[in-house]
Structure 1
C-alpha cells in the first residue's frame, strides 16, 4: 500500500515532467534500451533520506553532486566548475559550471545548492561535522556560493563528494525545502538520466531516460567523476522474483546486466560465451554486517550484544552462502575492511568463535529468554547469513524469532525503535573503509536505525577528521575500533565479492561494483 501511495504522488507531482517527455520529438534512430536487474526494487527515491544502496544507485543516475570520487578515491569537481579557499582556510567559494539544468527545465542555482546541503547535512555523519564547523553558507549570485567556517575543515571536499549514502545530491529548491524527515516523492534532479513516472509499474519495471539536456564534463568518466556521456536512450530497471530467474534471463538475453549473480550459478555462467562476469576486489568488495538494535531488548544490554562476537563464524557463513574462495577474504576482524588503508585488529581479541564460551557468557548477563527478532530478506544471501548465526545463537541459549520479508519492509521496520533486534545486510567497501563513512560507526549517537551510542566515538571522529597525517588517522581509527568492539553497533559476517554479469555485446560498461550506465553502449 505504501508503494502504491508513493506512486500516485509521483505520478501527480511528475505530471509536467512526464508530459514534457512525451511531447518531445523522438530521435530518428532506433531506441537503444538497456534492460537491467539490480539488487532490489527502488522504493525510496530520496538520496538524502536513506543509506540504502539501491537508492544511491538511483540517485547517482537521476541527481548530481558538487564533487565526486574517481577510481583512485580522489575527489574531483563535478557540478562545480571552480572553487577557491582563503589563506586562513575559513572561506570556501564555489562556482557552478555552465549548462546545469533541472530535468523540468530551469537552470541550477547556487541558492538551491545551499538549500540541498542544508537538507542533507543533518542526516549524514560527515554532513553533521561540516554543519558544526560552518558559521554561514549563502549564495553570492546565481552560480556562486560561499561556506564561511568557524574553524578549518580539512574534509570539505571528501564531504561534498562522498561516494557512500546518504548522498549529498543537489535538488531543486522546492524539493530541498522538504523536511529532512519526510521523503521527496517527485525525483527531479540534474543528472544524466530522467525518471519517467508515466512508465513506472511498481513491482515490474522502472524507466530512466537519457537526459538530452545534460552537459557532461570535458574530462573522461572515471568511476563517479568526469564526463558522464550517455550513449543509450533508456534504462529499464526490471524487477525479478529471485536471483535464479534473473540469471536465467541474462543467459537467454532477456536482460543485459544483472548486479548480483547467484553464487551457485557462477560455474554455468562462466561457460556462457555471451555472458561476462565482473568481479572486483579491494574497496569494491562488500562487508556483511548484523546491525543490532540498541533500543530494544535484549540488545539494549551491552553485555548481551558482546556475546555475539563468540557466535559469528565468517568462514561458515561465506561457505553457506556459496562464496568461492577466489571471491572472499579470510576471517576479517576490521570494521574498516581488510586490505584497506585503515585495516586494524584493535579490540578484536574478543571475536573468537566459541559456542560453549558464548553459552557461559550469556548466563552471566541479564538475558531472561527474550526473543531475538531477526528481520530476514527472503531469498537473499543475507538471509543465509542470518540463518547460520541464528543456529549458533540457539545453541548458545538465545530464543530466536526469524521473520522473513522483502528489503523494502526491512527498511520500514528498521525505522522503528521497537519490534526488531537485528537484521543482516551487506554494503560496498566504499561505504565501510573509513570511520567517517562506516554506516554503524559514523552514525554513533545519531538518530540512525540501531541507535548505538558511545560518546567517546564522536569526539574521536572529529579528531580523525582534523588529523594532520595518515599515521595519525590510522592511530585514531584503531582507537575507535577498540571502543566499537565494546559497544557492538554491528558484528561483521564477512568480506566478499559478488560478481555482476552482463551480455558480451555491451561496450564500455564501467568496471565497478556500483551499477553505472553512462558510457555503456549496445
Structure 2
C-alpha cells in the first residue's frame, strides 16, 4: 500500500521586542528580512557526504534535502518522497518523488539523481554500508520513481534513509553525485529551502544562505526535520565570531538574532538581558559526554583496568564543575543510549556508582603497574573540565595520569595512532548516540576506529538490532548490547546535558530543537 504520513508542529512562539540591528551587516548582505546568526563554529567543509561534523550537518539541513526525515518523536516521515510501497515479502520497494522538486539551478530533481546520491553516500556511512550489503539492485524506472530490491528484509530501511545523523543521506544533482566520495564536491547545489550564495561567501567572516523561491514545502506542519519547511525570511547570514564572549555580547546588544551555544558562565547575565530568550531541551536534544579509551595499549588494553573507571566517573561533579545548571542536565545517567530516549536502559550498570575506595581495590586486583595514562585535553573546553574532574578521582584511586593539553585538531591527529595516548574527553549530539547503530563508540566495535575496542558479540548483535521487526525487539537487543558494552568499556559517560541556545525575542516560530533550524522563523519589526 502507498503510505501517507502526518506530522506534528514543534515550534516555539516567542514575544516581540526591538528588532536586532544591522550594525555588523555588510552592504552586500542586506535584505528586507535577514537573520544574523552565530553557529557552533564556522562552516568549512560543505560536502555533507564526506564528514560527520555537526556544523556541516546544520548547513546541509538548510541547503539540501533528504528522501525521509525524523520527527520530534523519533518517527520517520517522508520528505522528498511522495509515496512508497513494498512487496509482500518486503524485498522490493518502490519510491515516488513529490512533484515539482527542483535543484537550486532550476533543473528538476529526478529519480536518477537520488539513486546516484544514495550510491555516493552509502559507503561513507555505517548504516549506509549495512543497507548496501542488503541491496540487490537500486534503479530509476522513470523520472520520479526508483526501485530498491533487497537480498533479505531490512526492517530499518526507512530509518536509514531518514536518519538525522551525519553524514546525512542528502540528495544531489547527478553531476555532483558522480563525484567520487573520496573527493569533496566544489559546487554546492541542493534542493533544500535555502540556497548557498557562493558569491557572497567570506571565509572567516560571513556565509549567506538565501531563500529558495522555487522550494515546494510539504503540506504538513514542521516537526523537527520532518514536515513542511516554509521559509519566511529572505536571507540567513551565518556570522563568524572570534569567541563565545563576543557572540554572547552581540546577542545581548541586538547585533545578532541567534547564537547556537551560550557560555555557561554567562547564563545568569543572559537570562536577565532584555530581549533575550534561552532555549534548552531534554532527551534526544541533549548531549552525551564520553571519555573515549584506547584499548590498543597499556593500561587500557586490560579490561579490568578499564572497568575501574565506572567507579570514578562522577557525572554530577563533572556537570557542576562545567557550570551546567540543574535544569539543563539529566541526573546521573547510566544509559549508553541516552536517558529519556527510545532505548534508554540500566542494563549492565549495577557497578557504575562512584566509589573511590572500591576503585582503588579493583585497580590493585587488576594488576595495574603504574603505567602512565595519557589524557589528551582540549585547552579551555568543557571537555577539559570534565577530564580534570575524572583525573582527580583517578589519582585518588592510584592511577598515574599524564595530562597533555592541546587543541582539538591535535587530538584528532593524534587519536589515529594506536600509541601515544590513553583517553580523551568529548561530547556528542544525543541524536548520534541514542541508538547502538549510530553510537560512535559502540557502532565502531571491532572496526578500525580510534580506540580499537572489540568484543565479537557486539557486531552480530548490531545486525540483530537492524533486523528486529519492531521497537520492543530493538529495545531488548539494545539492552543486551549495553550489558556487553559495560564490560568492554569502549567509553565512559561523563554526563547528559544541554548547551542552551539564545535568541532575540523579536524572533517568532523558532523550532524547538538542538539542531538550528530557520524555516518557519519570522522576524518582527
Same fold (TM over 0.5): yes
Counterpart contact for 1:101–1:214, Cα < 8 Å:
yes
The Cα of 1:324 is off from its aligned counterpart by: 1.2
Alignment partner, residue 12 of structure 2: none
| RMSD between superposed Cα atoms in Å | 2.5
Q: What is the rounded CA distance, in whole Å, between the counterparts of 1:194 and 1:287 in structure 2?
A: 32
| Partner SS state of residue 510, structure 2 | coil
Q: What is the rounded CA distance, in whole Å, between the counterparts of 1:115 and 1:365 in structure 2?
A: 54
Q: What is the rounded CA distance, in whole Å, between the counterparts of 2:125 and 2:206 in structure 1?
A: 30
Alignment partner, residue 290 of structure 1: 291
Q: Deviations over 1:51-76 (max 9, x none)?
A: 22212111111111000011222211
Counterpart contact for 1:96–1:110, Cα < 8 Å:
yes
Q: Deviations over 1:224-248 (max 9, x none)?
A: 1112111222222222232222211
| Partner SS state of residue 93, structure 1 | strand
Distance verdict in 2 for CA 1:420–1:40, change over 3 Å: farther
The Cα of 1:373 is off from its aligned counterpart by: 4.2
Counterpart contact for 1:375–1:420, Cα < 8 Å:
no
Distance verdict in 2 for CA 1:388–1:177, change over 3 Å: farther
Q: What is the rounded CA distance, in whole Å, between the counterparts of 2:118 and 2:41 in structure 1?
A: 28
What TM-score results when the alignment is normalised by the length of structure 2? 0.87
Q: What is the rounded CA distance, in whole Å, between the counterparts of 1:483 and 1:216 in structure 2?
A: 44
In the alignment, structure 2 segments of 5+ residues that lack a partner are: 1-26
Q: How does 1:372-387 map to 2 (within 5 A)?
A: 372-376=374-378, 378-387=379-388
1:244 aligns with 2:245: yes
Alignment partner, residue 404 of structure 1: 406
Alignment partner, residue 128 of structure 1: 129
Counterpart contact for 2:35–2:236, Cα < 8 Å:
yes
Q: What is the rounded CA distance, in whole Å, between the counterparts of 1:102 and 1:414 in structure 2?
A: 39
1:308 aligns with 2:309: yes
The Cα of 1:109 is off from its aligned counterpart by: 2.1
The Cα of 1:417 is off from its aligned counterpart by: 5.1
Alignment partner, residue 445 of structure 2: 444
Distance verdict in 2 for CA 1:30–1:207, change over 3 Å: closer
Counterpart contact for 2:102–2:215, Cα < 8 Å:
yes
* Structure 1 segments of 4+ aligned residues over 6 angstroms from their partners: none
The Cα of 1:255 is off from its aligned counterpart by: 1.0
Q: What is the rounded CA distance, in whole Å, between the counterparts of 1:324 and 1:507 in structure 2?
A: 26
Counterpart contact for 1:134–1:148, Cα < 8 Å:
yes
Which fold has the larger relative contact order, with Cα–Cα distance below 8 Å and residues 6 or more apart in sequence? 2
Q: What is the rounded CA distance, in whole Å, between the counterparts of 1:450 and 1:175 in structure 2?
A: 34
Alignment partner, residue 23 of structure 1: none
Q: How does 1:280-429 map to 2 (within 5 A)?
A: 280-295=281-296, 298-363=299-364, 364-365=366-367, 369-376=371-378, 378-395=379-396, 396-406=398-408, 410-411=411-412, 413-414=414-415, 419-429=420-430
Counterpart contact for 2:376–2:411, Cα < 8 Å:
no
Q: What is the rounded CA distance, in whole Å, between the counterparts of 2:206 and 2:296 in structure 1?
A: 37
Q: How does 1:451-490 map to 2 (within 5 A)?
A: 451-490=452-491
The Cα of 1:352 is off from its aligned counterpart by: 2.6
Alignment partner, residue 260 of structure 1: 261
Q: How does 1:486-501 map to 2 (within 5 A)?
A: 486-501=487-502
The Cα of 1:409 is off from its aligned counterpart by: 5.3
Distance verdict in 2 for CA 1:182–1:349, change over 3 Å: farther
What TM-score results when the alignment is normalised by the length of structure 1? 0.88
Q: What is the rounded CA distance, in whole Å, between the counterparts of 1:318 and 1:331 in structure 2?
A: 10
Distance verdict in 2 for CA 1:446–1:61, change over 3 Å: farther
Q: Deviations over 1:418-460 (max 9, x none)?
A: 5544332222222222222222222323344434332211211
The Cα of 1:508 is off from its aligned counterpart by: 1.1
Alignment partner, residue 165 of structure 2: 164
The Cα of 1:379 is off from its aligned counterpart by: 3.2
